[in-house]
């Protein structure tokens, strides 16, 4: 992808990565091949919640984001912050290109791209 701006919507099963140009977009989907089913535990047990994201999956997502100079990470739950933490730890130069981390449940692809474009326009005005 040869776009300056990029966004990713990520959950525990898939990541939708889009390169965003002035008038065009390019997209790809990265699937977590090691995805676990939801883990339900009783409230009085330690370690509640979902398994952490697979590092192989996060690496594939990081590689898909590598071409972008400005990135927005979106998604439900903790997947977006897990990705941001992974980038900070394993891809610090890429992590510095993350302009925002936004909560977003399950948007359509056009809704995700529109939200990212709006975010980048607002951020460009602040920096310009």
Per-residue pLDDT, 52: 79
Vertex 17: Cα angle to 16 and 20 (nearest 5) = 130
Full set of structural domains in the chain with CATH: 5-21+51-127 (3.30.420.60)
Residue by residue, DSSP assigns 32-85 as -TTPPPP----TTSSS-SPPPPPHHHHHHHHHHHTT-SEEEEEESTTHHHHHHH
**Which has the higher per-residue pLDDT, 9 or 22?**
9
| Contact between residue 29 and residue 12 where contact means Cβ atoms under 8 Å apart | no
Mean pLDDT, residues 83-105: 96
**Which has the higher per-residue pLDDT, 49 or 110?**
110
Rg (CA), the chain: 15
Q: How many residues does the chain have?
A: 128
DSSP state of 9: E
Q: How confident is the model at residue 72 (pLDDT cuts 50, 70, 90)?
A: very high
Tens of pLDDT, residue by residue over 31-54, are: 998 875 544 444 444 454 567 788
Residue 67 reports pLDDT greater than 70:
yes
Per-residue pLDDT, 24: 86
Per-residue pLDDT, 42: 47
Closest CA to 57 of 21, 90, 94, 25: 90
């Amino acid at each position: 992808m040869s776009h300056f701006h990029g966004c990713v919507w990520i959950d525990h099963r898939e990541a939708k990565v889009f390169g965003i140009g002035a008038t065009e977009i390019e997209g790809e989907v990265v699937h977590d091949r090691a995805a676990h089913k939801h883990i339900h535990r009783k409230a009085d047990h330690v370690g509640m919640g979902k398994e952490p994201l697979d590092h192989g999956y996060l690496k594939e997502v990081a590689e898909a984001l590598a071409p972008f100079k400005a990135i927005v990470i979106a998604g439900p739950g903790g997947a977006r912050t897990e990705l941001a933490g992974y980038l900070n730890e394993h891809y610090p130069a890429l992590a510095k290109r993350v302009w925002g981390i936004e909560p977003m449940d399950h948007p359509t692809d056009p809704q995700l791209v529109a939200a990212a474009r709006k975010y980048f326009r607002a951020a460009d005005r602040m920096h310009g």
